[in-house]
């Protein structure tokens, strides 16, 4: 499961880091690993080849070879090239420089998330950019697709074009623009049916829609989990309708998102937005440097922090921190913490966002790190009385037996939890003693308790 | 549905997938001997079909042992490739068999968003109706806008009753009530649609577990089948998808959709190797009749373009 680009690259570069000088063979070997790893991250083959060729050229310069830290240099080159290929630093905004009503055409394969994205886009344009947006569904293929968009429009508080049965997509598009003109809308978002890139009839149809509406933006909506077929899809849609921007959906999944690189390379169009959740607000600008980091295993700290902010109750967190500093952290607080970690998703997903964790992942995987452990701990704490949670010292043999029975665990499990909690308490006391300055001087090592840290 | 018709339909569906692979193969093999460079290109072709680097490497290793340095024709390479792939796929090609003793046989349909769960349910309902069975559909996607209406339209098309609740109903409660009704009416199959969910969202996965838990209050063996619907355009993340769904809800079989597109669904080979999970059927279009049994040989031959 951790057989990802991030893990592999970290391994390769660790090896490179350990070396003194690099020769051409070292670079070639590293790049072969990079190539394999990128393929495993679903970057399409032709795109990988171009990428590797570009990086090889830059990595083979004397500047890199003679450098004291050639590994670092190669990492930097790979990272820079990736960011560059993803579109350079910073997000590319939607082009709204057109006379109103500005048509935005949404296209893509079935199930890529066009309709949901249309709803999200309308909400964002209406709420953030204060535009008057009209939603119109041209999807006459999938059952209830038009109704779906109408319902999303209601949720977003944005009007949608009334549904008229029997109209063709081109007719609906014309009616939408008419309504847009007549009723003074700034933007008309045209959602279309999902279509396969090889379906000539439907591709012709969307071409006609495009000709009839001249959209300011033609956004190709792509699932971040897409594999090698990304190139075919990108090419077909680009040839048929001229893609001006890409929306990458399901970025809240754990796919590495190699499709972003493929799509960008084939269409030349920037990835403009990413969808990252089921809520209508979950539409964000695309940041190439962040996604490059995610792909390269440099970690995605920004996303981690965002995710934490999204799921963790700030007040509760601050209260916990204060208690920790005072050394008054109880088992009850620990249970709360467990609950918050649980809310953030899979542990491996969270760890994957941490820089440098890639190489540790295999070990962690071997340790069978999953939430059952955390759930078990929560159950144990749940089976304690309030008094026991605030003063765990009173928990002796008979209480342990009762707690174990109540939580469906064993006395050993209860012991482990208590021991771990003890260790935590010791660590927190040291943290307080050291203070901020001490921490800087002695590093994190000063915190480690002298005893073994037991996770299971 | 006649078998002959099925094979030609599957080939028709897969032929588009293979066009590119096939032309690529011809270019590789007729050009020169099977040397290192040719093998590497072959490996890349397999990777380009989403087989993944590890599976592709294994296939090529077998080639190296037996055919290295020989002049090999285009046809030979295709057949050998198809054979290699069919060997991996054959053990997992198992149809979805309903237990007639169950009234109803409960089928839970799960998957990430947009893979084609609802469409697949419509197709399954039609197939079973045509066999003279009485399927009942449950609109368990109570989250996505108009998901209920979408399933209801499939119910009308196939003549299968649809049990639905008001928006944002608890899916588990709905499934429980539906099972009560289906048992009372002695329906043959209860097909439960669920909301799409990413496998890394633990809360949503727990919701799915809850549906199962609640069903078991009535029937300790329910659901009798848990189908994971997988989009053929999915890349390597499908492995993680299957792993988590299998772990959380004990998936009993796969249905691979959208195989009529340009995606080759090669990830299926990696999935077969890794999990050995049954592949019941493939979706090859948007019509109710576009669901085919999964046949390892046909799929493998279709994948590499061997006729």
Under 8 Å between Cβ of B25 and B75: no
Confidence of residue A373 (pLDDT cuts 50, 70, 90): confident
Judged by average pLDDT, the poorest of A201-205, A308-312, B177-181, B238-242 is A308-312
Q: Return the structure tokens found at A52.
A: 């590797």
> Chain A: nearest CA to B50, how far in angstroms?
6
Residue A367: is its pLDDT beyond 60?
A: no
Residue B198: is its pLDDT beyond 90?
A: yes
Q: The tokens 């999807």 sit on which residue?
A: A139
Query: Do A304-447 and A102-298 have the same topology in CATH?
Result: no
Determine the pLDDT at residue A337.
74
Determine the pLDDT at residue A4.
47
Interchain pair B44, A45: CB under 8 A: yes
CA-nearest of A61, A83, A82 to A73 is: A61
Residues of A in contact with B203 (CB under 8 A): 343
- Taking the CA atoms of A112, A114, A119 and A123 in sequence, report the sign of the dihedral they define: positive
Helix/strand/coil (H/E/C) assignment for every residue in chain B: CCHHHHHHHHHHHHHHHHHHHHHHHHHHHHHCCCCHHHHHHHHHHHHHCCCCHHHHHHHHHHHHHHHCCCCCCHHHHHHHHHHHHHHHHHHHECCCCCCCCCCCEEEEEECCCCCCHHHHHHHHHHHHHHCCCCEEEECCCCCCCCHHHHHHHHHHHHCCCEECCCCCCCHHHHHHHHHHHHHHCCCCEEEEECCCCCCCCHHHHHHHHHHHHHHCCCCCCCCCEEEEEEECCECCHHHHHHHHHHHHHCCCEEEEECCCCCCCCCHHHHHHHHHCCEEEEEECCCCCCCEEECCHHHHHHHHHCCC
**Residue with the larger pLDDT of the pair A77 and A442:** A77
Determine the pLDDT at residue A355.
47
Interchain pair B234, A225: CB under 8 A: yes
Interchain pair A233, B233: CB under 8 A: yes
**Cross-strand bridge partners of residue B227:** B109, B253
CB contacts under 8 A, A 419-448 vs B, are none
Domain ranges of chain A: 3-86, 102-298, 304-447
Determine the pLDDT at residue A165.
93
Q: Is A350 exposed, middle or buried (0-12, 13-18, 19+ CB in 10 A)?
A: middle
Mean pLDDT of chain B: 87
**Interface residue of A3, A49, A155, A227 to substitute, partner B, most B CBs within 10 Å:** A227
Determine the pLDDT at residue A453.
36
3-state secondary structure of A407: helix
Under 8 Å between Cβ of B105 and B186: no
> Chain B: nearest CA to A394, how far in angstroms?
35
Residue A452: is its pLDDT beyond 90?
A: no
Class level of CATH domain A3-86: mainly alpha
Q: Which of A44, A147, A371 sits opposite B146 (nearest CB)?
A: A147
- Across residues A193-205, what is the average pLDDT? 92
- Across residues A210-232, what is the average pLDDT? 95
Burial A291-322 (b: 16+ CB within 10 A, else e): bbbbbbbbbbeebbeebbeeebeeeeeeebee
- In Å, what is the CA distance from A430 to each residue of A423, A451, B297? 11, 14, 65
CA-nearest of B20, B85, B86 to B56 is: B85
Q: Return the structure tokens found at A103.
A: 């048509």
Tell whether A43 is within 8 A of chain B (Cβ).
Answer: no
Cβ of B156: how many Cβ atoms within 10 Å? 12
Q: What superfamily does domain A304-447 belong to in CATH? A: Signal recognition particle, SRP54 subunit, M-domain (1.10.260.30)
Backbone angles phi, psi at A124, to 5 degrees: -65, -45
Determine the pLDDT at residue A95.
93
% of chain A surpassing 70 pLDDT: 71
Contact residues for A212 (Cβ-Cβ < 8 A; gap 6+)? A170, A173, A174
Interchain pair A111, B115: CB under 8 A: yes
Q: Which of A113, A147, A226 sits opposite B233 (nearest CB)?
A: A226
Q: Which of A36, A144, A197 sits opposite B53 (nearest CB)?
A: A36
**Cross-strand bridge partners of residue A102:** A187
**Cross-strand bridge partners of residue A107:** A220
Q: Return the structure tokens found at A32.
A: 């072969």
Interchain pair B199, A197: CB under 8 A: no
- Across residues B43-59, what is the average pLDDT? 88
Interchain pair A113, B267: CB under 8 A: no
DSSP H helices, A268-330, are 288-296, 301-311, 314-326
Whole-angstrom Cα distance, residue A79 to residue A5? Answer: 13
**Residue with the larger pLDDT of the pair B191 and A434:** B191
Q: Indicate if ipTM > 0.85.
A: yes
Residue A226: is its pLDDT beyond 90?
A: yes
**Residue with the larger pLDDT of the pair A85 and B230:** B230
Determine the pLDDT at residue A277.
87
**Residue with the larger pLDDT of the pair A81 and B280:** B280
Confidence of residue B34 (pLDDT cuts 50, 70, 90): confident
> Chain B: nearest CA to A208, how far in angstroms?
21
Residues of A in contact with B239 (CB under 8 A): 1
Tell whether A200 is within 8 A of chain B (Cβ).
Answer: no
Whole-angstrom Cα distance, residue A323 to residue A48? Answer: 50
Determine the pLDDT at residue A370.
56
> Chain A: nearest CA to B19, how far in angstroms?
11
Confidence of residue A265 (pLDDT cuts 50, 70, 90): very high
- Taking the CA atoms of B236, B240, B241 and B243 in sequence, report the sign of the dihedral they define: positive
Interchain pair B198, A250: CB under 8 A: yes
Determine the pLDDT at residue A60.
74
Tell whether A29 is within 8 A of chain B (Cβ).
Answer: no
Judged by average pLDDT, the poorest of A233-247, A354-368, B246-260 is A354-368
Interchain pair A232, B263: CB under 8 A: yes
- In whole angstroms, what separates CA A374 from the centre of its chain? 23
Interchain pair B235, A371: CB under 8 A: no
Determine the pLDDT at residue B77.
78
By residue count, chain B amounts to 307
- Quick one: CA torsion of B205, B211, B212, B215, rounded to 10 degrees? 180
Interchain pair A250, B112: CB under 8 A: yes
pLDDT per position as a tens digit, A3-25: 444 455 556 656 665 655 666 77
Determine the pLDDT at residue A132.
96
Whole-prediction pTM: 0.77
pLDDT per position as a tens digit, A32-66: 878 887 888 899 999 999 999 988 888 777 666 66
Q: The tokens 């309030």 sit on which residue?
A: A386
Q: Return the structure tokens found at A34.
A: 């990079």
pLDDT per position as a tens digit, A374-417: 778 888 998 999 889 888 889 988 999 999 999 988 999 899 88
pLDDT per position as a tens digit, B170-183: 999 999 999 999 99
> Chain A: nearest CA to B272, how far in angstroms?
16
**Cross-strand bridge partners of residue B228:** B110, B254
Is the domain spanning A102-298 CATH 3.40.50.300? The answer is: yes
**Cross-strand bridge partners of residue A220:** A107, A246
**Interface residue of B42, B262, B283 to substitute, partner A, most A CBs within 10 Å:** B262
Judged by average pLDDT, the poorest of A108-117, A169-178, B257-266 is B257-266
Query: Checking DSSP bridges between strand B105-110 and strand A283-285, what pairing results, if any?
Result: unpaired
């Amino acid at each position: 499961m951790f057989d990802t680009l991030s893990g592999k690259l970290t391994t390769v570069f660790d090896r490179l880091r350990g070396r003194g000088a690099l020769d051409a063979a070292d670079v070639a070997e590293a790049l072969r690993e990079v190539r394999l790893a990128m393929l495993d991250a679903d970057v399409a083959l032709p795109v990988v080849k171009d990428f590797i060729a570009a990086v090889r050229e830059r990595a083979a310069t004397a500047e890199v070879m003679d450098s004291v830290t050639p590994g670092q240099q190669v990492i930097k080159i790979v990272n820079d090239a990736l960011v560059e290929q993803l579109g350079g630093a910073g997000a590319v905004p939607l082009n709204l420089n057109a006379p109103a009503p500005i048509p935005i055409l949404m296209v893509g394969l079935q199930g890529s998330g066009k309709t949901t994205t249309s709803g999200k886009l309308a909400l964002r344009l209406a709420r953030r950019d204060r535009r008057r947006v009209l939603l119109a569904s041209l999807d006459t293929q999938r059952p209830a697709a038009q109704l779906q968009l109408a319902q999303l429009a209601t949720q977003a508080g944005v009007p949608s074009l009334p549904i008229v049965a029997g109209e063709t997509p081109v007719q609906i598009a014309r009616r939408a623009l008419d309504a847009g003109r007549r009723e003074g809308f700034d933007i008309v978002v045209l959602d279309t049916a999902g279509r396969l890139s090889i379906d000539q009839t439907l591709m012709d149809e969307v071409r006609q829609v495009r000709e009839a509406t001249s959209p300011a933006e033609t956004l190709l909506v792509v699932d971040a989990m897409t594999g090698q077929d990304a190139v075919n899809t990108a090419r077909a849609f680009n040839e048929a309708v001229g893609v001006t921007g890409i929306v990458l959906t399901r970025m809240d999944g754990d796919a590495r998102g190699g499709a972003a690189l493929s799509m960008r390379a084939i269409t030349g169009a920037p990835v403009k937005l990413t969808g990252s959740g089921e809520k209508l607000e979950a539409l964000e600008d695309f940041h190439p440097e962040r996604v490059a980091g995610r792909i390269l295993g440099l970690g995605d700290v920004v996303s981690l922090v965002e995710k934490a902010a999204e799921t963790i109750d700030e007040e509760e967190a601050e209260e916990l921190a204060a208690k920790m500093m005072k050394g008054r952290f109880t088992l009850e607080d620990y249970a709360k913490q467990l609950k918050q970690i649980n809310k953030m998703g899979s542990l491996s997903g969270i760890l994957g966002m941490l820089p440098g964790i890639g190489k540790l992942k295999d070990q962690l995987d071997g340790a069978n790190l999953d939430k059952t452990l955390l759930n078990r701990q929560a159950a144990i704490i749940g089976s304690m009385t309030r008094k026991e949670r605030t003063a765990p010292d009173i928990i002796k043999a008979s209480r342990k037996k009762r707690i174990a029975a109540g939580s469906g665990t064993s006395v050993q499990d209860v012991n482990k939890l208590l021991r771990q909690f003890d260790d935590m308490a010791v660590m927190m006391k040291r943290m307080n003693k050291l203070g901020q300055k001490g921490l800087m001087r002695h590093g994190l090592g000063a915190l480690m308790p002298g005893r073994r840290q037991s996770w299971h | 549905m006649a078998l002959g018709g099925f094979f030609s339909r599957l080939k028709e569906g897969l032929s588009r997938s293979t066009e590119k692979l096939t032309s690529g193969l011809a270019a590789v093999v007729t050009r020169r001997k099977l040397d290192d460079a040719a093998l590497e290109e072959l490996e890349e072709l397999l990777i380009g079909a989403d087989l993944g680097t590890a599976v592709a490497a294994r296939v090529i290793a077998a080639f190296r042992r037996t055919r290295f340095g020989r002049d090999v024709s285009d046809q030979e390479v295709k057949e050998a490739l198809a054979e290699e792939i069919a060997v991996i796929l054959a053990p997992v090609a198992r149809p979805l068999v309903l237990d007639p003793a169950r009234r109803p046989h409960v089928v839970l349909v799960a998957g990430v968003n947009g893979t084609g769960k609802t469409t697949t349910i419509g197709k399954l309902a039609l197939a079973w109706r045509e066999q003279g069975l009485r399927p009942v559909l449950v609109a368990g996607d109570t989250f996505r806008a108009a998901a209920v209406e979408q399933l209801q339209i499939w119910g009308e098309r196939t003549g299968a009753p649809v049990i639905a609740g008001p928006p944002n109903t608890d899916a588990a409660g709905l499934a429980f009530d539906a099972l009560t009704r289906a048992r009372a009416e002695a329906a043959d199959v209860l097909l439960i649609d669920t909301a799409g969910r990413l496998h890394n969202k633990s809360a949503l996965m727990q919701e799915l577990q809850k549906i199962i838990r609640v069903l078991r209050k009535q029937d300790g063996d329910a659901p009798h089948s848990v189908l994971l619907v997988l989009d053929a355009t999915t890349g390597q993340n499908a492995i993680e998808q299957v792993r988590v769904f299998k772990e959380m809800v004990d998936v009993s079989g796969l249905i691979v959709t959208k195989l009529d597109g340009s995606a080759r669904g090669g990830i299926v080979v990696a999935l077969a190797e890794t999990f050995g999970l049954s592949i019941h059927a493939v979706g090859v279009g948007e019509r109710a009749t576009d669901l085919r049994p999964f046949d390892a040989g046909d799929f493998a031959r279709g994948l590499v373009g061997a006729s």
